[in-house]
Every structure is written in C-alpha cells, then in structure tokens.
C-alpha cells in the first residue's frame, strides 16, 4: 500500500519553535483561535498534529493541562498539503467544540490577538515574576523543581517545589486569582467574570488545604510582590520546614 505523500503531513525538519507556532497560527486562522478550555476554567494553546498510518493521514488536537499533555483524535484528513490538513484539523476541532476564540479579559491591556496570546502564556508557567523569584532563590544557593505536582496523585501544579523540605510555592497572577489590591471587577459581563475568579480562588484554597493536610508548607506570592520580599518569605518557610525536620 502506498502511503500518503510526505508533503501532506510531514513537517519540515529543523524548524524553530517560532516557526512551529506561526504555522499553527496560520492554519487555525490566528493565534487567538487556538484556545482550548481546560479544567481550571482557563485556556490552553492547542496544537494540531498530523500522523500517517495505513495510507491515511489523521489529525489530532494536543494541549497541556496541569502539567500533562492531553490529546484528542480529530479523524482522517485528505488535503494535498500539510497546511491544508492542519487547517482541516482546526476546523474539525472547532466544530467539535474543542477550541474557540480566546476571550479577552475585561480591562485587559491586551488589545491585539498577539498580546492576548502573550497574556495567556503568562497565566501558565515561567512567567516573569516566577523567573525573578527563581533567580533570587538560585542565587542564594537553593535548588528546586519547576512546575511539578507536589503530590503525584493530586492534580495541582506548583510553580516552585522543594521536595525535600516539602515546601510548595505558587506565584499567583493578580487578575486570574483575584488579588485584593489589584483585581477590578469588569463593568460588562460582571457576573461571568466574578464567578470565574471566585472559582479560581476556591481552587487555590482547596490546593493549600490539601497540601497542608499532607504535611506541606504552602507559600503564595502575588505577581505584584517585590521579588526580594517573596524570596525572603520562601527562605523563611524553608528554614522553618527544615527545623521541623531536624526536630
């Protein structure tokens, strides 16, 4: 059996990450059209994958949720080129309700699809406040894990984890986690956003409760917090945790 031509599915080798993202954006009709709603109520950026097997090219939608990769089959595609099949995959994902257009948070500085894509990425891992905090901790000789689950069977990912001391650090975004100093409720569609932020806050409290019940120390920092102040709070928590361990 003759397989499908490589041009119908195989990516060009040696592509940069930026080129991969640009290809996906083009096929989807824009970066803002790649939004996958995940369990937290937030959105992840989807990718359409193409695989050839048994003479057929099949499309799959992949995204990351809570530190793990999720894949959904979209079915066979029959375009002559890779771009045509990627575009068909995105159309199928949209028709199945798996993806939608990214919703701009009210009052957001993000006035363009590109800016909104940046903002969405900042809700995930490796945000600027996280990097600054990690740099200060690393400078103090501390070593840690990044974006992992403190408890393997509890689907919550902490931003910075010290497994030995059992200290989990979360750097919470002011908008998405309802910062008491900076969160401003929208004048439009306020009920929707109020419920969404309240849900995130409840999830945060549940995460803290479960981890503490399992013997973990939880440190929550706001993204607006001065990194040096946040670092001192983390170091203090580590000192206390290590002191308990020696006792």
Range list of β-strands (E), 78-198:
145-148, 158-162, 167-172
Residues 43, 119 contacting (CB under 8 angstroms): no
Q: At what angle do helices 17-28 and 82-95 cross, to 10 degrees?
A: 60
Looking at the DSSP bridge assignments, the partners of residue 162 are 167
Pairing outcome for strands 167-172 and 217-222 = parallel
* Amino acid 177: pLDDT: 85
Residues 218, 209 contacting (CB under 8 angstroms): no
Q: Which pair of structure tokens corresponds to residue 105?
A: 């948070």
What are the pLDDT tens digits along the chain (247 aa)? 577 899 999 999 999 999 999 999 999 988 888 998 776 667 789 999 999 998 899 999 999 987 789 999 999 999 899 999 999 999 999 888 889 887 655 444 444 555 455 445 445 556 788 889 999 999 999 999 998 999 999 989 999 999 999 999 999 988 778 888 877 666 556 677 778 888 889 999 999 999 999 999 999 999 889 999 999 999 999 999 988 655 4
Q: Which CB contacts under 8 angstroms, 24+ apart, belong to 206-213?
A: 207/156, 207/170, 210/151, 210/154, 210/156, 211/150, 211/151, 211/154, 211/156, 211/168
By CB atoms closer than 10 A (0-12, 13-18, 19+), residue 207 is buried
**70: number of Cβ within 10 Å:** 15
**134: number of Cβ within 10 Å:** 20
* Amino acid 109: pLDDT: 40
Domains and CATH numbers, the chain: 6-95 (no CATH), 125-246 (3.40.960.10)
């Amino acid at each position: 059996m003759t397989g499908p031509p490589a041009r119908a599915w195989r990516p060009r080798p040696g592509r940069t990450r930026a080129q991969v993202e640009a290809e996906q954006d083009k096929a989807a009709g824009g970066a803002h059209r790649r939004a996958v709603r995940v369990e937290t109520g937030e959105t992840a950026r989807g990718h359409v994958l193409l695989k050839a097997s048994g003479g057929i090219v099949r499309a799959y939608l992949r995204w990351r949720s809570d530190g793990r990769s999720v894949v959904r089959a979209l079915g066979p595609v029959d375009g002559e080129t890779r771009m045509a099949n990627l575009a068909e995959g995105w159309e199928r994902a949209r028709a199945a309700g798996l993806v939608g257009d990214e919703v701009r948070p009210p009052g957001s500085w993000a006035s363009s699809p590109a800016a909104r894509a940046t903002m969405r990425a900042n809700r995930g891992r490796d945000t600027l406040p996280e990097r600054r905090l990690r740099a200060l901790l690393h400078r103090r000789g501390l070593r840690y894990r990044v974006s992992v689950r403190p408890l393997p069977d509890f689907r919550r990912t902490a931003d910075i984890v010290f497994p030995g001391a059992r200290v989990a650090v979360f750097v919470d975004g002011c908008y998405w986690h309802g910062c008491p100093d900076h969160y401003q409720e929208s004048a439009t569609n306020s009920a929707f956003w109020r419920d969404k932020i309240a849900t995130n806050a409840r999830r945060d409290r549940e995460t803290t409760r479960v981890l503490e019940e399992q013997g973990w120390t939880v440190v929550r920092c706001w993204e607006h917090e001065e990194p040096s102040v946040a670092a001192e709070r983390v170091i203090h928590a580590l000192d206390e945790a290590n002191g308990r361990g020696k006792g």
